[in-house]
A and B are shown apart, each in its own frame.
Chain A
């Protein structure tokens, strides 16, 4: 496909970004968990201190069966490891079903890698569900290391209710 453009997201892309976030969540059977609104995305991504950055893939409208021109996105931000410094964290990465297998995902990953190198990040990292074999193979083919398997890292999450212990007096 000759006419795919990869570019930095702009405020006008927010409705498409939210649409793709919901599509990805639906694929993961978690659509009802998406609480973000367009207003949140606009404020959080395009204000004075953005919480995230975004790339979008775009095709001419007539090439998309549903008339959308933005057909993929990648959301990322910068994290920090006190041992090795800045890192680029890839939070979400999605290409619409009908546009897969065309190298768009690879292009996005390469663009993010270039961003990571240019902004002096020591690495690019993210999480993948262990049952998502296709994604795992995609990343491993390109040299990714599974740190959970190799080094034993486990992801923990504490919700607001979990930190209620801080309200108790000792």
Chain B
């Protein structure tokens, strides 16, 4: 087993490149549902402004263990704060990813544990997983994750595109 450390973004440019590259991997992996229009500049702007919309941890390995393409940032966890009207401050884990060649070494668990340290002030940690992604479902279930779609019937619903615009165009003046 090799060691790694998680650090929050200290080099936004480099780390954003890493996230961008990882997202490209994820996009290719999940192609049927991808709608990949967020580019590096947006990630940089939205993650490093005065009130960032997300926070991110990266897993970095020593230079001598770098990937075959030469990367030392080999995984990341992207999360943001949400709010429960019952209990208050909460955390949502949006993305957790480790490059395939570095899996099975505890990096994913390490990233999740680092997020758990942030979670101390929060009352719940939520995330979403696709039906067919059995390895991820098993990974989170092994760490105490409950599938609320199955147990309580919660469904994700979204308004976007023209439907969102139609609603917005009819909004009352506030």
Partner of B158, one of A55, A111, A124: A124
Q: Whose C-beta in chain A lies nearest to the C-beta of B125?
A: A158
B40-61 CB contact bits vs A (8 Å, 1 = yes)?
A: 0011001000010110000000
User: B100 contacts which chain A residues (CB < 8 A)?
Assistant: none
- CB <8 Å contact, A86 and B53: yes
User: A25 contacts which chain B residues (CB < 8 A)?
Assistant: 85-86
Q: Whose C-beta in chain B lies nearest to the C-beta of A166?
A: B113
Binds A, one of B7-15, B64-72, B138-146: B138-146
Identify which of residues 135-158 in chain B touch chain A, using a CB-to-CB cut-off of 8 Å: 137, 140, 142-150, 152-158
- CB <8 Å contact, B155 and A110: no
| A156 and B129 contact, Cβ closer than 8 Å, known pairs A84-B38, A107-B172, A163-B113 | yes
Q: Does A27 contact B (CB under 8 A)?
A: no
Q: Give the complex CA separation of A51 and B152 in angstroms.
A: 25
- CB <8 Å contact, B112 and A166: yes
Q: Give the complex CA separation of A91 and B51 in angstroms.
A: 20
Q: Give the complex CA separation of A142 and B158 in angstroms.
A: 11
- CB <8 Å contact, B113 and A128: no
Q: Give the complex CA separation of A170 and B143 in angstroms.
A: 14
Q: Whose C-beta in chain B lies nearest to the C-beta of A49?
A: B51
User: B34 contacts which chain A residues (CB < 8 A)?
Assistant: 83
Q: Is the interface of B mostly helix, strand, loop or mixed?
A: mixed
User: A130 contacts which chain B residues (CB < 8 A)?
Assistant: 153-155
- CB <8 Å contact, B88 and A44: yes
- CB <8 Å contact, A117 and B168: yes
- Smallest CB separation, B2 vs chain A (Å): 13
Q: Could you list 8 further interchain pairs (A-B, Cβ under 8 angstroms) beyond the known A83-B27, A91-B85?
A: A44-B83, A82-B38, A84-B36, A85-B42, A113-B159, A122-B37, A136-B157, A143-B162
Chain B interface residues (CB < 8 Å from chain A): 19, 23, 27, 33-38, 42-43, 46, 51, 53-54, 78, 80-89, 92, 94-95, 106, 109, 112-113, 116-117, 119, 123-132, 137, 140, 142-150, 152-168, 170-172, 174
A sample of 19 cross-chain residue pairs with beta-carbon separation below 8 angstroms, ordered by A number, consists of A51-B89, A82-B43, A82-B95, A83-B27, A85-B37, A85-B38, A91-B82, A116-B164, A127-B157, A143-B166, A145-B160, A147-B158, A152-B132, A154-B137, A155-B147, A155-B156, A156-B146, A157-B145, A163-B116
The 7 closest A-B pairs by CB, nearest first: A162-B144, A143-B163, A152-B131, A123-B160, A113-B167, A166-B113, A114-B171
